[in-house]
Structure 1
Amino acid sequence: MQKTMQLGSDRAYDILRSEHQPLDAIFAPKSIAVIGASQREGSVGRTVLWNLISHPFGGTVFPVNPKHHSVLGIKTYPNIAAVPEPVDLAIVITPASTVPGVIGECVDAGVKGAIVLSAGFKEIGTTGAELEQQVLQQVRRGKMRLIGPNCLGVMNPHTGLNATFAHGMALPGKVGFISQSGALCTAILDWSFRENVGFSAFISIGSMLDVGWGDLIYYLGDDPHTESIVIYMESIGDARSFLSAAREVALTKPIIVIKAGRTAAAAKAAASHTGALAGSDAVFDAALRRCGVLRVKSISELFDMAEVLAKQPRPKGPRLTIVTNAGGPGVLATDALITDGGELAELSPETYAALNELLPPQWSHNNPIDILGDADPMRYAKALEIVAKDPNSDGLLVILTPQAMTDPTQSAYKVKSLARIGKPILASWMGDADVEAGAEILNQASIPTFPFPDTAAHVFNYMWRYNYNLRALYETPVLPEGVDTSDRTIAKTIIQTARETGRTLLTEVESKQILAAYGIPTVTTQVATSAAEAVRLAEEIGYPVVLKVYSKTITHKTDVDGVHLNLRDAKAVREAYDAIALSVSTKVGANHFAGVTVQPMINLKNSYELILGSSIDAQFGPVLLFGTGGQLVEVFQDRALGLPPLNTTLARRMMEQTRIYKALQGVRGRKAVNLEALEQLLVRFSQVVVEQRLIKEIDINPLLVKAEGIDENSLVALDARIVLHDLDITEAQLPKLAIRPYPTQYVSSWTTRNGMQVTIRPIRPEDEPLMIKLHHTLSEESVFFRYFHLIKLSQRIAHERLTRLCFLDYDREMALVVDYENPETGEHEVLAVGRLSKLHGTSEAEFAILVSDRYQCQGLGTELLKRLLEVGRDEQLRLISAEILTENSAMQRVCEKLGFRIYPTVDASVVRAEIKVAGER
């Protein structure tokens, strides 16, 4: 019988980390060469060398300088080739013009990592940028990883490594800090000494020529000393790499970002409404939401949130309960909470009754709960115990002001017992010396304490938003309705035909045809090239009708008075046709007039005008927009941005960020719109953007959504505009999606040995219910062979676990499922799954195969492994491997049949299977 096998992602990953994590050469080197070490007082070369030898890191330092025999009393070598021992890390401090040659010598000498502190690269212009490319060419010749150039360096406070020219060594701690600004690094370092803040890593990333955000986020995500990651960012660099790493790591370790350039101007010229609305900073916010990263506005917030998220659980929602001994601070906290989107928790009847029994009659009888100025420590403790149990509350804020009868220290002792209530608890001990001891007690008990209550409320808002964004990533969506492949071809043909005629602006008719090809309802739209034809079409459609200018060059119809509404008879249609023709001729020229479109006048009663669009962001590629539409769309600016592709959960999250969403749920006696249908429409729209990459900008404005009745016009695109990329742009030059879409190229049918027709395809987030069913079919033996130990079914099908298995980043991991549709019931079943996971920082991956016991011996495991090898070749992986239990001989035979070599390991119960699939990238 074919057996399932184990992916070496748990125990094997730890064993192999030292062999396969290239950045260890930078953060945990055994030997360092300082190239450009100097004797000159105050020089960077001297400072770096002094920092290395005065903070022992457990390794050897080799100064390299051809002009000196020794520096700081240490023997110096003329070049890296002359160093008598292998070098893990080279720190380069030579003039920019010499750096390409120096790095080339390091590659030749087998150096594994480099930090280039030298400036004079792309920050000075074209000459410097060319030098950078020369450096990169040398790096790519070997397996070296490089941080910089133009950076401060790195510190590993837990090992004592100080590979920087900063004056001082960071304290050890649990925060991984990455900065794009070396100057800010030194300021943060000084601040950290005053505030006693420690770091697990302190990194100046510089120009990110090689090592970028994604590499470092993965590295710190694997680092046992790092509990949270804070980032100062000026530019995103490789957006897909950043989002990919952040999305994976943020689930287990908070990532907090502060980014310069928040006030950068939005796009000044755009053919579409979307292009005008989607400013680059707003897009950056949307990208962070998509990967679960928290953005803050100040450096103090950066470290406040790192501390808070490490100490307290995330709130499930925005409802805060405030307990205070003074009314004024409670009001301040309330203002800060509500102004920033939070809510006051509504006290349950049980909570209200219990507080009535406990508190004096003069208590506030509402939230904020004013327990009065004479509150003693016991009153604080009992009040908090009561409100902590209230199901309507998502978090607590306790405020203390020092009054005559207040004991801040003893109150803190009582409050600290509530540090682990399952909800976040924050404190504001207001005052100076009188409250200092109490505040320290709370902080030591992992209850974050702030001097001002409005700051604490602001922090709570950050907390619930952070959790809201994370939940959106891993809520199981509804399977979207499919789009027929032939319809996609229709859309592609329309675009190609337009380009062949030299056009980049599609007509309204063409735009609507593309939407219709993806199942997006559009209003009937007919073209008339004469007044008489317009009348004939109007009578066919039925009055009243709408006439709009038909043109292959005019972008905004209203700019030329090109829209006439509610035309009720033939006379009105003729007059409207003539008026449009005259207006166009007068304003832009008769050659821009090609006729009119005739459309039915849709009844707008009990309906909403929305906008749905996409435009290109310079950093993140295609960006989606949803919000309030109509003629005043730029005035209201009620919009949410998101990155494609969408699923139904992400579509709903976009809708929830807008003010119009409340109306869509039903207000003032109106029924709610069909939100599920609107979700599906947003998903299909994102498919258009993902698959038709020649589209530069696209608008549906308005998208009409009716609040009553489900008919053919309950969701309908009344107008549409599509702008294509320039005619001379090649496919390779098209903007890349920031998030890799579903890899349809790996979907195909297959026949099992017993003749069952199945589909082998990449896993989707919507497959979570099918994965639960698969695990119900596994025997204990199959579970043991897959995981090396038995895991309870309840643990295997837990949502938190399955999210990691179904919600994949296809850039880093690929899982193929065998999908069988029962011809009698129409229900789907996953018979097997094969997984390929890249090892961080390498071009290697590990695989795993899991087959339902009922369908073993049908060749599923062999076919899945074959296809995983094809994926590995496509992804240009160098090596694919796995660890297999020695007794799992069937899986070993499958591997050998496909060309794997089997090796023994130090653990006699385990063998290792390896195959080389491609050359180095």
Structure 2
Amino acid sequence: MQVFKSNDPAYDILRLERQPLNAIFAPQTVAVIGASDQANSVGRTILWNLISHPFGGTVFPVNPKRHSVLGIKTYATVKDIPESIDLAIIATPASTVPDIIAECVDAGVEGAIIVSAGFREIGTVGAELEQQIKQQLRRGKMRLIGPNCLGVMHPRNGINATFASVMARPGNVGFISQSGALCTAILDWSLRENVGFSAFISIGSMLDVSWGDLIYYLGDDPHTHSIVIYMESIGDARSFLSAAREVALTKPIIVLKAGRTEAAAKAATSHTGALTDSDEVIDAAFRRCGVLRVNSISDLFDMAEVLAKQPRPKGSRLTIITNAGGPGVLATDALMTTGGELAELSASAIAALNQLLPPHWSHGNPIDILGDAEPERYLQALEIVATDPSSDGILVILTPQAMTDPTLTAERLKSYIATHTASARKPILASWMGGTEVATGEMILNRASIPTYPYPDTAARVFNYMWQYSYNLRGIYETPVLSTHAVDGATARTLVETTIAKIHQARMILTEVESKQILAAYGIPIVATCVAKSEAEAINCAEGIGYPVVLKLFSETITHKTDVGGVQLNLPNAAAVQRAYQAIATSVSDKVGVEHFLGVTVQPMVSTDGYELIIGSSLDLHFGPVLLFGSGGQLVEVFQDRAIALPPLNTTLARRMMEQTRIYKALLGLRGRQPIDMNALEQLMVRFSQLVVEQRWIKEIDINPLLASPHGLIALDARIILHEPNITADELPKLAIRPYPTQYVTDWTMKDRTSVTIRPIRPEDEPLMIQFHQTLSEQSIYFRYFHLVKLSQRVAHERLIRICFIDYDREMALVAEYQNPQTKASEILALGRLSKLHSTNEAEFALLVSDRFQCQGLGTELLERLLQVGRHEHLKRIHAEILRDNRVMQRVCEKLGFQIHRTEDPSVVKAEIILSTT
């Protein structure tokens, strides 16, 4: 049983037609509320912009004090307009806006833009006005941009719903800004630089329409090739990450994020809380969703251009071809200081260059082809390094010298591009230095989609941005390894929740022993720990463990034991243990008071032949729990060698997180030292992430140190801090990225008594999905896609990542998993998918069942589960298009309550079910 959900490009156009935001970007009727004749007023400027840039629609001025504005009949209220209104633009005092929004909702207006200021930016009075507007919006389906914004331009269809003085040029860049003032500056700059836009959006305070809504809209827009954003605050973090992660795979998203905000956990008591800050978390969030962060306005548009024109590099190694040594050195410095590396030329490339170039060439990278280089030498050098596997990208530098021909050299590079498709070559950048002398050559290169830069250091930095973007995307969609030491989540959750509930009645800080018990429940190895509340007990513990031992303060209030003299190491005998117990008790009593001393813990003295790491989690104001990994031990704050990531992690994301630290290279083996088991460390990081995701009452947690050695991994110390007991479960911080929805995992038995597990799909399922597609007949494929699709296309990694690497907030895919009794291997027998339509509360469903297991009730069960998911996720409507010949699927739908409708296409019917009318 199969249902169609098109992968055709035309499907994007169909989705765009269904977009609620079309009322804002492609309206047929526009009301300007606050239209005025007053010179230089906002109301007059907006009205004039709309009527002076024909967009094929009708404009209605609204002003109760005027009979006409600019010679156009004016209406007292939006209710008085004789036609239904798609878009209302509001330019009236802030105090009047809630009532105007109420009138618009009552009149059925679909979209609104509030350009008025005077809301939350002025304080509590303005914030209250925003709350009143929100209450009105809940009564209808109207979408709203603003308040306090410049407005919206859609240059391709002529809409200028702003109070800017000029209209943007049409183009392929979607621009969104939180600053109206910056919008006008960018607009002026774009006209000088001949940069065009598919949309030009001032988002304002994001009272309703947010980053996520606009990213989805531009992602669906076939005229938008890249999205650039000026951001001051993240707003709804989950919405942003969800939209950006989906769209960034096909369209670059480049963000200039201004401002640095202290994290909520900055003053926290754990090491982790002291080591995170909001700007680092923003970087981690952008990496997680494939967004490229840049540092300047020029970088925004440089990257939009280059990512649209050139293929993405596979790595960070750049080869530089230059006719002058100095510019090559400048490019090298910029490359190395911003994270890239020079490609080390292969022996075959050097041999070929020796045959081509004069004897005095540089014999290395940068490749100095000397000042007398003619165009043909440039081209031949380029062709040699383009085939060198040790290089990931090429920068060609030209400085005008007596023998140089910048224009003809550009023509030669153009001819190379013309004979090599983007998918078959490496990215090529150019720096034509010399102003007017090289202007014609620059124009030729730019028209050939080779981005040019006046200075080579700029080009080198652009290349680094390119590979960072490519690296981030690969990290998101690289198939992870299935965990080989999976934690029994239900058992661990019950154990930990019971422990936390008992402790929470008295305090928020767990002891070291309690913290380690929680780690052990999630499969994290801990060092044996014995609690002693007297000298005699300490000696008994030590003799039971075996010397040498370590004594640490046992306290319910103090988390950093070394700060109060609470740690004594390498104790060889009973006398040393007795002295250490007394020393800890005295030091703690003198420094913080005897009430903080409850005894000691005794642990074996573990060999320090390894690396001390820290793994932790604390809270960020916008993103909720964040993870930390890095160099640990007593000097953790001094070295500050750390990486930040958002949970949940899989093995790929765990490895990418570790790669960002300096300690990572040491863990792989350094100067004859054995490497640690990186796979085991990845698995531990995944389990730690699972702990953080599932135990929401944990506010902060860190393992410091986690000793990593060739002999294994072991947590030597741990601390956990809980949330305040007076907050409710609903008030606990939510994850920025929705974790794996375990609530949808259930067992089920088919008609032939075969047992299967129905569960949400995972990224690790990609190999199983390849096997699944090998079991499908041509008829199954035809019923599913409405046309035949080759197996090689169906199992391509680029396609399967869209199926397996899903955002559980936006879609749900359920698979039926079966363990083959002969091979003991897992197999996927069926797949059901529920995909939300952007900016709506509706979804499409699709089903695909392996031919061998059809007619076993599996399709019906999957669809029924999808309906349960839809109700749980508060969807209002679910539908799908089905081939008229697919009678079996139609009967299944009717049995579950779907209505079957005809469509304009006689070969297709539509199945639809209403889940909620509220």
Question: TM-score surpassing 0.5?
Answer: yes
Alignment counterpart, residue 494 of structure 2, candidates 479, 489, 495 = 489
Secondary structure of 1:483's counterpart equals coil
Q: Are 2:236 and 1:233 equivalent residues in the alignment? A: no
Q: Are 2:142 and 1:139 equivalent residues in the alignment? A: no
In the TM superposition, 1:487-636 aligns within 5 A as 487-500=492-505, 502-605=506-609, 607-636=610-639
Residue 824 of structure 1 and its aligned partner are, at CA, apart by: 4.1
Counterpart of 1:89?
Answer: 87
Alignment counterpart, residue 896 of structure 2, candidates 875, 895, 898 = 898
Deviations 1:748-777 (A, max 9, x none): 100000001110000000000110010000
Indicate how the Cα distance of structure 1 residues 264 and 594 shifts in structure 2: closer, same or farther if over 3 A, else same. Answer: closer
Matched letter for residue 631 of structure 2? T
Deviations 1:585-621 (A, max 9, x none): 111111111100000000012x000000000000000
User: Conserved in 1, the CA contact under 8 Å of 2:16 and 2:217?
Assistant: no
Counterpart of 2:652?
Answer: 649
Matched letter for residue 363 of structure 2? H
Counterpart of 1:216?
Answer: 214
Residue 19 of structure 1 and its aligned partner are, at CA, apart by: 5.7
Counterpart of 1:737?
Answer: 735
CA distance in 2, matches of 1:843, 1:483: 35
Residue 88 of structure 1 and its aligned partner are, at CA, apart by: 0.3
Residue 349 of structure 1 and its aligned partner are, at CA, apart by: 1.2
Matched letter for residue 583 of structure 2? A
Residue 8 of structure 1 and its aligned partner are, at CA, apart by: 5.0
Deviations 1:240-268 (A, max 9, x none): 00000000000000000001114758854
Counterpart of 1:882?
Answer: 880
User: Conserved in 2, the CA contact under 8 Å of 1:147 and 1:210?
Assistant: yes
In the TM superposition, 1:467-478 aligns within 5 A as 467-478=470-481
Matched letter for residue 558 of structure 1? T
Indicate how the Cα distance of structure 1 residues 396 and 16 shifts in structure 2: closer, same or farther if over 3 A, else same. Answer: closer
Secondary structure of 1:611's counterpart equals strand
Matched letter for residue 493 of structure 2? R
CA distance in 1, matches of 2:868, 2:17: 25
User: Conserved in 2, the CA contact under 8 Å of 1:565 and 1:601?
Assistant: yes
Residue 491 of structure 1 and its aligned partner are, at CA, apart by: 1.2
Indicate how the Cα distance of structure 1 residues 8 and 914 shifts in structure 2: closer, same or farther if over 3 A, else same. Answer: farther
Matched letter for residue 705 of structure 2? P
Secondary structure of 1:207's counterpart equals coil
User: Conserved in 2, the CA contact under 8 Å of 1:266 and 1:278?
Assistant: no
User: Conserved in 1, the CA contact under 8 Å of 2:542 and 2:549?
Assistant: yes
CA distance in 1, matches of 2:911, 2:239: 29
In the TM superposition, 1:118-267 aligns within 5 A as 118-262=116-260
Provide the aligned length of Structure 1 versus Structure 2: 911
CA distance in 1, matches of 2:446, 2:279: 35
User: Conserved in 2, the CA contact under 8 Å of 1:118 and 1:151?
Assistant: yes
User: Conserved in 2, the CA contact under 8 Å of 1:9 and 1:846?
Assistant: no
Indicate how the Cα distance of structure 1 residues 76 and 857 shifts in structure 2: closer, same or farther if over 3 A, else same. Answer: same
In the TM superposition, 1:55-66 aligns within 5 A as 55-66=53-64
Matched letter for residue 607 of structure 2? N
CA distance in 2, matches of 1:298, 1:15: 33
CA distance in 1, matches of 2:250, 2:263: 34
Indicate how the Cα distance of structure 1 residues 321 and 516 shifts in structure 2: closer, same or farther if over 3 A, else same. Answer: same
In the TM superposition, 1:95-494 aligns within 5 A as 95-262=93-260, 268-419=266-417, 420=421, 422-480=425-483, 481-484=485-488, 485-494=490-499
Matched letter for residue 488 of structure 1? R
Indicate how the Cα distance of structure 1 residues 124 and 312 shifts in structure 2: closer, same or farther if over 3 A, else same. Answer: same
Residue 339 of structure 1 and its aligned partner are, at CA, apart by: 1.1
Counterpart of 1:798?
Answer: 796
Secondary structure of 2:31's counterpart equals strand
CA distance in 1, matches of 2:825, 2:100: 63
CA distance in 2, matches of 1:279, 1:834: 40
Percent of paired sites with the same residue: 74
CA distance in 1, matches of 2:188, 2:86: 29
In the TM superposition, 1:42-53 aligns within 5 A as 42-53=40-51
Matched letter for residue 491 of structure 1? V
Q: Are 2:835 and 1:837 equivalent residues in the alignment? A: yes
CA distance in 2, matches of 1:544, 1:284: 45
Secondary structure of 2:88's counterpart equals strand
User: Conserved in 2, the CA contact under 8 Å of 1:8 and 1:846?
Assistant: no
CA distance in 2, matches of 1:526, 1:594: 13
Matched letter for residue 627 of structure 1? G
Residue 919 of structure 1 and its aligned partner are, at CA, apart by: 3.5
Residue 699 of structure 1 and its aligned partner are, at CA, apart by: 0.5
CA distance in 2, matches of 1:287, 1:849: 33
CA distance in 1, matches of 2:678, 2:492: 25
CA distance in 2, matches of 1:616, 1:592: 27
Residue 9 of structure 1 and its aligned partner are, at CA, apart by: 6.0
CA distance in 2, matches of 1:787, 1:881: 16
Matched letter for residue 519 of structure 1? G
Secondary structure of 1:189's counterpart equals helix
CA distance in 2, matches of 1:11, 1:49: 36
Q: Are 2:669 and 1:666 equivalent residues in the alignment? A: yes
CA distance in 2, matches of 1:673, 1:378: 51
CA distance in 1, matches of 2:691, 2:333: 43
Counterpart of 1:5?
Answer: 3
CA distance in 2, matches of 1:15, 1:457: 37
Matched letter for residue 286 of structure 1? A
CA distance in 1, matches of 2:10, 2:450: 37
Counterpart of 1:754?
Answer: 752
User: Conserved in 2, the CA contact under 8 Å of 1:20 and 1:842?
Assistant: no
Secondary structure of 2:502's counterpart equals helix
CA distance in 1, matches of 2:815, 2:391: 41
CA distance in 1, matches of 2:753, 2:415: 64
Matched letter for residue 30 of structure 2? I
CA distance in 1, matches of 2:637, 2:16: 54
Residue 493 of structure 1 and its aligned partner are, at CA, apart by: 1.1
CA distance in 2, matches of 1:302, 1:15: 27
Secondary structure of 1:449's counterpart equals coil
Deviations 1:58-91 (A, max 9, x none): 1000000010010000000010011011110000
Indicate how the Cα distance of structure 1 residues 418 and 495 shifts in structure 2: closer, same or farther if over 3 A, else same. Answer: farther
CA distance in 2, matches of 1:85, 1:732: 44
Indicate how the Cα distance of structure 1 residues 341 and 16 shifts in structure 2: closer, same or farther if over 3 A, else same. Answer: closer
CA distance in 2, matches of 1:907, 1:815: 28
Residue 4 of structure 1 and its aligned partner are, at CA, apart by: 1.9
User: Conserved in 2, the CA contact under 8 Å of 1:266 and 1:276?
Assistant: no
Matched letter for residue 659 of structure 2? E
Residue 494 of structure 1 and its aligned partner are, at CA, apart by: 1.2
Residue 415 of structure 1 and its aligned partner are, at CA, apart by: 1.1
User: Conserved in 2, the CA contact under 8 Å of 1:648 and 1:679?
Assistant: yes
Residue 487 of structure 1 and its aligned partner are, at CA, apart by: 2.5
CA distance in 2, matches of 1:433, 1:225: 33
In the TM superposition, 1:808-827 aligns within 5 A as 808-827=806-825
User: Conserved in 2, the CA contact under 8 Å of 1:8 and 1:882?
Assistant: no
Residue 488 of structure 1 and its aligned partner are, at CA, apart by: 2.4
Matched letter for residue 566 of structure 1? N
Indicate how the Cα distance of structure 1 residues 354 and 445 shifts in structure 2: closer, same or farther if over 3 A, else same. Answer: same
Counterpart of 2:685?
Answer: 682
Residue 489 of structure 1 and its aligned partner are, at CA, apart by: 1.2
Deviations 1:692-715 (A, max 9, x none): 000000010000000x34xxxx10
Deviations 1:188-237 (A, max 9, x none): 00111111111000000000000000000000000011000000000000
Secondary structure of 2:856's counterpart equals coil
